[in-house]
Every structure is written in C-alpha cells, then in structure tokens.
Structure 1
C-alpha cells in the first residue's frame, strides 16, 4: 500500500503520511478478521468527518478493559487459524530432500539478499546458481 501511495503522491508522499497511516490502520486484515484500529479500540473508525459528532459513545473503566481483552482473545484465535491455513498451503509443496556425497545440486539464492554477486539484481536475477558437487564435511 505504501508503494502505491508513493507513486500517487510522487515527490511529496511524506507530507501525506497521516493519510497513509489512516488507510493502513483502517484496512481489513484477513488474518485477524478486523482492522487494526478496531482491534485496538474495539469500535470501527469512521471517516474523519464523523469524528466530532455530539453524543458519541465512550467506554470508561472495566467495560473498556473487558472489551479489549475480548478482542485480544478473538484476534489470537483468528491468528492461529490463519497460521494453520498458511502452513497447510506451504506444506503442499514442501518435501524433505536427502543428499549424498558426489550429488550435483543447484544453490538457491534470495533475489534481495546478495543476488548482485551473481550478476543482475532484482526480478531478472538468477534464482539458482551452480551446479555444485556435495563433498564430505571437513
């Protein structure tokens, strides 16, 4: 989202940082099932136009603590569900590999962490380098 705002606001995106922060805090997160603002304060955040309306409900004392604790419990449950769902997606492609001496292998490199050593940087950088032969540990 920040990248989109940087392109939209061109050179003065830092002047619009409060708007970016507002958008991030009020966007729905599927892992917790609510917005970060709603998780923190227990209510949905309306647009800034409606912030100063008369008769707004405020929580004071034990009701606020109870509401926040209930939200924390709900968020923990939803994060566990999201974590197990993501783990199941990842485990579909994962498999244990067994290597033996004198096998030839490719070395997988991270595009952001040092692909520059192997030529191009970024999307066009190689994902694997090699082949390397597995030798006994010294």
Structure 2
C-alpha cells in the first residue's frame, strides 16, 4: 500500500504546477456545469466552462483572490479559490458579451454588427 501511495504522490507532484496571480491581472473564472441548469443561455454540454475576463482586485491569503465582477453577476460572492481561476492572455479583439442571445418565438434572431 505504501508503494502505491508513493507512486501516486510522485505522479501528482510532477503534474502539479504552482499558480500565482498579480493584482490587476485578468483571469477566467471556472463555472461548474450542472445537469438540467441553464447558464449563460446554454444548457448541458454546451454551457461554458470558463467565463471572463475579470480583473483581480485583491489577494486574500495565499490561495484566494477577490475579483471585479460585472453587475450581472452581483449575486455571486467575489472571492474565489485559486483552483477556480485560469490565466487570461490579453487579446485586444477578444469581446465577451454576457447578454444572452434574444431568440424570438419563431426561432429567429436579429444580427447586430459588433465591429466594422
């Protein structure tokens, strides 16, 4: 049993990477998909795994960070564990829209030009 535990620990140690974020850095926030619950306009397998990018406002201890969340997520507590965050590499053309797509009763929607 000791040999198996040692082997598992060495495997976990090799796969583990230390993450640290700076204040002011942008991160993605991991959301957990739940069966039967619609999040951000998608349900099931199509629901997003990560949302963001959010700015880090403060570090709370060695493993928790406070994020600047938009008003639409005001009901969510703004302190998250390190495991719930993923580094965001800034891309100037990356546009994230939190507004769900408005689909009419006849299953159509209107296109809007985002950028010209």
Q: Same fold (TM over 0.5)?
A: no
CA radius of gyration, larger in: 1
Question: Which structure is higher in strand share?
Answer: 2
Question: Higher relative contact order by CA 8 Å / sep ≥ 6: 1 or 2?
Answer: 2
TM-score bin (small chain): 0.3 to 0.5
